[in-house]
């Protein structure tokens, strides 16, 4: 039986917009199991990104509880949350958010450096991940010298190089063309199937939803549908 990677209970989150409260999440309960490939979808303002951010410890709920790999996030300091993200969670952002002054390889290595991995294994692991994503020829290039698709692949390499328990992706295909989108989705699918990596992605894109094995649809801050596809 798969273990629970993410356990969310009674999550609520309200934002103030011009002194008007906006209810982003209204009592969300969800469990994500090891090996799930989950899409969080819904219209703008439905709460999908908010849920993703709270799961990743980038934001805190007004009430409710999040447990990631057995750790309760609500009790952790910002520093401890950063430590948790460093070791257990990989992030892929819509805008890639690579460090512009570092090369592709240095971007990937940076995470390992933060983890304190020694130079030789660090170089070996980053090289292996970049090779596996078809980026070995571009490893020395800086983000500004890469296309959107290439940057997103580097971002994925950065996110998975530490073998995180959970990969979170916020609209990862929003800034790339459809051919590159498919390429990336195949890559994520491969990570999920072959390495058993748990992936949660917030998306509008039906093509992305087509690749995920579990589709959670949010509306007005609540889960409207939670459908698990049968993988043949």
Partner 1 sequence: MLVRLIGLAWRNLWRNPRRTWLTVSAIAFAVLFLVFGRSMQTGSFDTMIDNGARILLGHLQVQHVKYSADPRVDYTINAAPILEYFSSRAEIEYASARTQGFALVSMGERSFGAQIVGVEADIERHWSRIASMVSLGRYLQGRGEAVIGARLARNLGLQVGDELIILGTAKEGGIAASSVTLVGVFNTAQTQLDRSLVQIHIDDFREAWMLGNDEAHAVVVMASNVTRSEAEASLATTQLESVAVLAWLDLMPEAQQMRDMKAVSTQLIFYVIVIIVGFSVVTTFMMMVFERTQELGVLIAIGMKPGLLQVQLQLEALFLAMLGVVIGFIVALLLIVWLEETGIPLPVQADEIFARYNMGSRIYPSFDWPALQTSSVLMFVGVQLAALIPGLRIQRLRPVEAIRRQA
Which residues in this chain contact partner 1 in the complex, by CB under 8 A?
Answer: 53, 56-60, 78-79, 82-83, 85-87, 89, 91, 93, 95, 97, 99-102, 110-111, 113-116, 158-159
Residue 159 or 184 having the CB closest to partner 1: 159
Residue 18 or 78 having the CB closest to partner 1: 78
Residue 82 or 124 having the CB closest to partner 1: 82
- Both tokens assigned to 103: 């090369």
To the nearest whole angstrom, how small is the minimum distance from the Cβ of residue 103 to partner 1?
10
To the nearest whole angstrom, how small is the minimum distance from the Cβ of residue 144 to partner 1?
10
To the nearest whole angstrom, how small is the minimum distance from the Cβ of residue 179 to partner 1?
25
To the nearest whole angstrom, how small is the minimum distance from the Cβ of residue 49 to partner 1?
9
To the nearest whole angstrom, how small is the minimum distance from the Cβ of residue 115 to partner 1?
8
- Both tokens assigned to 8: 């969310």
In this structure, the strands spanning 166-170 and 89-92 are parallel
Q: Where in the chain does DSSP place strands (E)?
A: 4-17, 20-33, 37-41, 63-68, 71-72, 89-92, 166-170, 198-203, 214-219, 222-228
CA torsion angle 105 109 111 115 (round to 10): 180
Identify how many contiguous H helices and E strands the chain contains and give both numbers.
Answer: 7, 10
Q: Burial level of 203, CB count in 10 A (0-12/13-18/19+)?
A: buried
Residue 59 or 183 having the CB closest to partner 1: 59
What DSSP character marks residue 37?
E
What DSSP character marks residue 134?
T
To the nearest whole angstrom, how small is the minimum distance from the Cβ of residue 53 to partner 1?
5
With a CB cutoff of 8 Å and minimum separation 6, the contacts of 199 are 36, 37, 38, 166, 167, 168, 169, 188, 191, 192, 212
- Both tokens assigned to 11: 């999550």
Residue 97 or 132 having the CB closest to partner 1: 97
To the nearest whole angstrom, how small is the minimum distance from the Cβ of residue 118 to partner 1?
11
Question: Smallest Cα–Cα separation from 67: which of 41, 38, 89, 94?
Answer: 89
Residue 37 or 91 having the CB closest to partner 1: 91
Residue 30 or 84 having the CB closest to partner 1: 84
């Amino acid at each position: 039986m798969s273990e629970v990677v993410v356990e969310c209970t009674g999550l609520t989150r309200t934002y103030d917009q011009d002194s008007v409260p906006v209810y982003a999440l209204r009592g969300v309960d969800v469990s994500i199991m090891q090996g799930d490939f989950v899409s969080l979808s819904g219209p703008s303002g439905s709460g999908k990104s908010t849920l993703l951010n709270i799961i990743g410890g980038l934001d805190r709920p007004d009430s409710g509880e999040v447990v990631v790999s057995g750790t309760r996030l609500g009790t952790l300091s910002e520093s401890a949350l950063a430590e948790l993200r460093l070791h257990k969670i990989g992030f892929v952002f819509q805008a890639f958010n690579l460090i512009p002054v570092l090369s592709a390889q240095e971007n990937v290595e940076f995470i390992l450096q933060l983890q304190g991995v020694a130079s030789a294994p660090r170089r070996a692991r980053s090289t292996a991940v970049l090779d596996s994503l078809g980026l070995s020829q571009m490893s020395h290039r800086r983000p500004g010298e890469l296309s959107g698709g290439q940057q997103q692949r580097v971002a994925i390499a950065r996110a998975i190089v530490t073998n995180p328990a959970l990969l979170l992706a916020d609209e990862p295909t929003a800034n790339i063309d459809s051919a590159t989108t498919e390429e990336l989705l195949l890559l994520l699918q491969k990570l999920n199937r072959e390495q058993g990596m748990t992936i949660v992605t917030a998306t509008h894109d039906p093509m992305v939803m087509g690749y995920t094995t579990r589709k959670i649809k949010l509306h007005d801050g609540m889960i409207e549908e939670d459908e698990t596809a049968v993988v043949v």
